[in-house]
Amino acid sequence: MIIVNDFKPGNAFYYEDGIYSVIDIQHNKTAMRQMIVKVKAKNLRTGAITDISFTGGDKVELAMLSKKKMSYLYDDGSDIVFMDQSTYEQTSIPKTRLEWELKFLKEGSEVEIIDHEGEILGINLPAKVTLKITECEPAVRGDTVNKAMKDALTETGLKVRVPLFVNQGEDIIVYTVDGTYDSRA
């Protein structure tokens, strides 16, 4: 058990038949009232982000999550298959649970699989990944009033806005949090 006042981002806890991970915490204390702890949390089973309010001093049970490094093997149509490099054990995750993450996965990519008592809750991607541009609009001469950007399509199907100097066939680095361009690789 942990007192909600001691929450830190990344803590996993049980709440109303779900497993949640803390994203952000706010403490609100006024002179005449008890402390209110507002927690922005992600439901690890559904992916939904919700705001939960606790009274200061409330206790919740921490959830123990295990993380294992695995590499992406292939897509079998309905599932995504990952393999542990040391034991060669393979794990399948339904494609519907990894819709956002698939935009950043290439064969051989290393990820962290999040597991809770045998139930796979999802994967953690690295902060940035390198992707190759397969389609790109040509640059328009004179279109440089502001930070000039154009549309590009990566090898994984991710649509991203890139600067005019980036061309088809080049490798770029993309943030996995929001899918935005960072730099050339």
- DSSP per position, 121-183: EEEE--SEEEEEEEEEPPPPTT--SSS-EEEEEETTS-EEEEETT--TT-EEEEETTT--EEE
Tens of pLDDT, residue by residue over 120-142, are 888 888 889 999 999 988 776 66
Q: Which domains does the chain have, with CATH numbers?
A: 2-60 (2.30.30.30), 66-124 (2.40.50.140), 128-184 (2.40.50.140)
Question: pTM of the predicted model, to two decimals?
Answer: 0.72
pLDDT tens digits for range 27-81:
888 877 888 889 999 888 887 889 999 988 889 999 898 888 999 998 888 888 9
How many helices (H) does the chain have, and how many strands (E)?
Answer: 0, 16
What's the rounded Cα separation, in Å, for the pair 140 and 79?
A: 41
